[in-house]
Chains A and B, each alone.
Chain A
Amino acid sequence: MSIELRHASFRYPDNYLANDDLNLVVEQGESVAIVGQNGAGKTTAVKMLNGLYRPTKGDVLVDGVNTREKTAAVIGRTVGYVFQNPDDQIFNQNVRAEIEYMPRRLKMPEPEMKRRVDRAVELTGLKKYMGKNPFDIPYPIRKFVTIADVLAMEPKYIIFDEPTAGQDKHGTELLENLLKVLKAEGVGVVTITHDMEFVARNFDRVVVMAKKRIIADDTAKAVFSNDEVMEQAKLKKPQICQVAEMAGLGKGILTIEELVELL
């Protein structure tokens, strides 16, 4: 079981080519980070993975089924997508109604819906916001509302588009915990982020995009040791990694413990 881009390219209606021949396989239960420069095509690529966009060339497969053969709504139940801009996703006037919307639409039995919504709310720390209008709550918390939306659907694969943007310490910890829980449950996760410290702490496998293409797909250690890839994708190494390298202590050092140990 996996989601896969196979020689997939995507051109926007204004004729701009945003993805050029992408190849990527994410197995169920795997957790992958996608990083890379602004405009590299990350959001476009994951929108193909969840069926919002169809490749203009090549194929996208979800558990072996070509996304051309299914509607976006159906694919979305297997591959959940949390939008980069939460306002593109939310449309209910109340947080509870927002999270319950899809389960209700699918006519899920009440107890099952309750179980799922309770779990989603627990994992996202939204309890005290349940009665609020999503547009009245701060942006980072609104992002958690959209995460809860997707969690309540319990898809086999989940894609998070920039969940770390604007999050404080508490929000980042919530996300880290969520990633652990999903991993333990065998959910496949793809996370787009610009936060390299977050990547170093939470991901073994890192996919790097630059200029419409995937330029690396490797371990975090290998990616952060590859200067050319870092430069092309406009990335920066995590701070500890930079310190270790500049002090001549070696490449790919990611944690404080490793660094202290070396001295």
Chain B
Amino acid sequence: MALIEIRDVTYKYPFTKKPALHDVNCSIEKGKFYGVIGENGGGKTSLCNLMRGLIPHFYNGELTGIVNIDGTEVRDWNTGELAAKIGYVFQNPFTQISGIKPTVFEEIGMGLENLGMEKEAMIHRILEVSKELDIEDLLQKDPNAMSGGQRQRVAFASILAMDQDIMVIDEPTSQLDPQTTEKVFDIIGQLKNSGKTIILVEHKIDLIARYCDEVILMQGGTIVRQGATADILTDTSIEELGAVVPQTALFGHAMVRAGKSLERIPITVEDAVEQIRKWKEVQA
């Protein structure tokens, strides 16, 4: 059975008329890396809230259908145990920072404290993730006196530190410079390789193309496409569904139109370069 199983789910936030999610069906397999894409307001964050159990435990409202997380219906999960099982990086880095801790060090430690980690192990862990995310110089800084991207790194570090089995990560790189963005994807990729299950919301389609096993495309509160990354992202009809096609795939299609078809439509830079090499060989 799938790790997270969502069947015929429709959900309305309290005091709203229109459902934020409707007729959602999907299965999340253990150990896979899922990229959730789609237009603003499409329901990506709401899907995250659902998978993390915040719907219905934190957000009341009207939920119909079945959500099963690791064999147990979401309504039957204890909220503390769910929090220990599933990490959640919120969309807005400006709200994830608690604002109640005087230093970045303590900010990152807060979640670990809540998990009941011992002091020594905690310090070790904080230093470890800080090194990984290159925020060691910021550890003594007031979390409120940081640049936008620094805050987002700290928010991500706080969750990374907790090391949960399932990670739901909502737009972790929106404020990050390109190389740091890449670094965060690398780290998430390594988490997947170590057996974790990842659900990542992201607009940066080139990185989704490179790292994700599967893509879930949402529009208007429901899943309109789901499947292997290359299958979804080479199909330009997803543009009509509010999605962006990677530049490399658009290049592949432009080559077809110019009568210079490559062997296949690439979705990454590496593959585009490889396809060009092969095409040149054939020409020669």
Which segment of A63-71, A109-117, A241-249 sits at the interface?
A241-249
A87 contacts B145, C-beta separation under 8 Å: no
Q: How far is the CA of A8 from the CA of B39 in the complex (A)?
A: 40
A238 contacts B153, C-beta separation under 8 Å: no
Which segment of B66-74, B110-118, B187-195, B236-244 sits at the interface?
B236-244
B145 contacts A259, C-beta separation under 8 Å: no
Q: How far is the CA of A138 from the CA of B260 in the complex (A)?
A: 43
What's the minimum C-beta distance from A78 to chain B, rounded to whole angstroms? 25
Q: How far is the CA of A165 from the CA of B40 in the complex (A)?
A: 12
* Interface SS of chain B: helix
A194 contacts B176, C-beta separation under 8 Å: yes
The 8 A CB mask of A25-43 against B (1 = contact, 0 = none) is 0000000000011110001
Q: How far is the CA of A196 from the CA of B204 in the complex (A)?
A: 11
Which segment of A52-60, A92-100, A167-175, A176-184 sits at the interface?
A167-175
Contacts A38-B150, A239-B246 given; does A139 touch B91 at CB 8 Å = yes
Contacts A138-B40, A194-B175, A239-B206 given; does A166 touch B251 at CB 8 Å = no
Specify which chain B residues have a CB less than 8 angstroms from the CB of A171 in the assembled complex. Answer: 40
Specify which chain B residues have a CB less than 8 angstroms from the CB of A197 in the assembled complex. Answer: 247
The 8 A CB mask of A214-242 against B (1 = contact, 0 = none) is 00000000000000000001111011101
A263 contacts B250, C-beta separation under 8 Å: no
Contacts A39-B149, A194-B177, A235-B178 given; does A166 touch B203 at CB 8 Å = yes
- 6 A–B pairs (Cβ distance < 8 Å), ordered by A: A139-B92, A168-B42, A171-B40, A194-B149, A234-B180, A239-B272
User: Besides the contacts A36-B177, A162-B175, A234-B178, what 13 more A-B pairs have beta carbons closer than 8 Å?
Assistant: A37-B177, A37-B179, A38-B177, A39-B149, A141-B41, A168-B38, A194-B175, A235-B179, A236-B179, A239-B246, A239-B269, A240-B247, A257-B254
B interface residues (Cβ-Cβ under 8 A, vs A): 38-42, 45, 91-92, 94-95, 141-142, 145-150, 153, 171, 174-182, 203, 206, 239, 242-244, 246-248, 250-251, 254-255, 258, 260, 269, 272-273, 276-277, 279-280
A interface residues (Cβ-Cβ under 8 A, vs B): 12, 14, 16, 36-39, 43, 84-85, 87, 138-141, 162, 165-171, 194, 196-197, 233-236, 238-240, 242-243, 246-247, 249, 256-257, 259-260, 263
In the A-B complex, the 7 residue pairs with the closest CB atoms: A38-B149, A236-B178, A234-B179, A239-B247, A165-B174, A168-B39, A166-B174
